Amino acid sequence: MGGQDAVSCNTEDTNPRADEALQLWEQGAAKEQAGSLMDAINFYRKALKVHDGVEKLYRKKLQEDYMLQQKLEALNLNDKSNDHTENTSDVNGTSEEAGPVDPCWILEMLPDDILLQIIKQVVYMSGESWVNLSKTCASFNKLCFHNSLPYQAFADYIYPKQVYDSETLQMNKVTDMKSFTKEIWGDDAKQMICNRPFIKYHGIYISVVNVVRYGANDEGSLSLMNPIHILTYYRYFRFYPDGSCLRLLTTDEPSFVVKHFSKETPIKDSEICRWSLGFDYDFGLLHITRTSDKYEFHEKFVIKNQGRKKHHQLAWLSSVVIDNEGVEMENSLKNERAFHFSRVKSYENSL
């Protein structure tokens, strides 16, 4: 009966116009998730013109898809249970029994010191690999997150790659950052990682900005409401350990930008900037600069946490333009939104 129910789920309200409207609505939902609200609204409008009840159909389809997924998962569990019964219930021994899978004794034989060295190399690969390794078994979980060595390895890997403002270092008479930070956090690398911000290189920082503009009605229109236009644009930052930064302002979505966003293959209108960290905001002050023939541009951010994700967000502090005569002009941040980090696997091999 379960299979019959699943097959008959989508028979109601299926006609060419409803299918066309659903496809348009799903495209709108995808655009909305990507932050392109104007494109999303256009798709929603087209869908409603095709079928005025498309939103109800879409919600019903989501519910039916969820129910179907639950049934499929239940069937998979039943199949696994049946397979297990068939393999173990042959009392006469005439069937080929698979037998228990032997554990990997190599890891059991290795002392913790050796395992910690393995973990250390995994940490150097990426933070994600470190987390994934901790999920493989209780022993690795304990060694990964209840031992100081992995935290120290990560700190030794990421912090020397940070770039600090030379004037700030001179002002604070800091000649060795490692010795300086040790006076603050001692040997507690875990606390330092949690509380000392850093720039991430294995990905890209993206800010999605939606600007609402009100249009004018056509001459002779009796409508009391003005049309609304939503402009969506994106800001991208990709940082490098040499103190350079690739910057781009565009209406192109991440799916078109991220894969090809690098200094080696610069996208049209992208700019090379310089970046550095300061000691303000608990070592989280980020300063990005770039120059043109007539102007200097200075943008400042503070590195913040995003929920449980440490140092994942760049929040705006200021945006200043200085002309050749030294006159400063401050740009409005009214429409600007924070940058959020997104990991990109293809970037890992480029450092």
Tokens of 113: 């010191």
Mean pLDDT of the residues in the chain: 83
Nearest alpha-carbon partner for 110 in 139, 132, 147, 153:
139
Flag whether pLDDT at 14 surpasses 90: no
More confident residue, 299 or 18: 299
More confident residue, 98 or 258: 258
More confident residue, 97 or 332: 332
Please state the rounded mean pLDDT for residues 292-309: 94
Of the pLDDT bands very low, low, confident and very high (cuts 50, 70, 90), residue 70 is: confident
Any residues with CB less than 8 A from the CB of 185 and at least 6 apart, and which? 191, 192, 195, 196
Please state the rounded mean pLDDT for residues 206-211: 92
pLDDT one-digit tens code per residue, 227-254: 677 888 999 999 999 999 999 999 999 9
- Quick one: pLDDT at residue 246? 97
Of the pLDDT bands very low, low, confident and very high (cuts 50, 70, 90), residue 84 is: very low
pTM summary value: 0.71
The residue length of the chain stands at 351
Distance, first Cα to last Cα, the chain? 56
Please state the rounded mean pLDDT for residues 331-340: 94
- Quick one: pLDDT at residue 85? 41
User: What are the residue ranges spanned by the domains of the chain?
Assistant: 15-66, 109-193, 201-216+224-345
Residue type, 65: D
102 phi/psi in degrees, rounded to 5: -70, 140
- Quick one: pLDDT at residue 90? 42
206 phi/psi in degrees, rounded to 5: -130, 135
Flag whether pLDDT at 281 surpasses 90: yes
Tokens of 310: 């440490």
Question: Among 2-16, 198-212, 279-293, whose mean pLDDT is lowest?
Answer: 2-16
Please state the rounded mean pLDDT for residues 17-44: 81
238 phi/psi in degrees, rounded to 5: -125, 125
Flag whether pLDDT at 56 surpasses 60: yes
- Quick one: pLDDT at residue 233? 92
Widest pairwise Cα distance in the chain? 96
Any residues with CB less than 8 A from the CB of 68 and at least 6 apart, and which? 6, 9
Residue type, 312: H
Backbone torsion region of residue 54, taken as left when φ is above 0, otherwise alpha when ψ lies between -120 and 50, otherwise beta: alpha
Flag whether pLDDT at 58 surpasses 50: yes
- Quick one: pLDDT at residue 40? 80
pLDDT one-digit tens code per residue, 91-142: 344 444 445 545 555 666 778 888 999 999 999 888 888 888 888 878 888 8
pLDDT one-digit tens code per residue, 165-203: 999 999 999 999 999 999 999 999 999 999 999 999 999
Any residues with CB less than 8 A from the CB of 254 and at least 6 apart, and which? 34, 204, 206, 234, 236, 342
Please state the rounded mean pLDDT for residues 291-316: 94
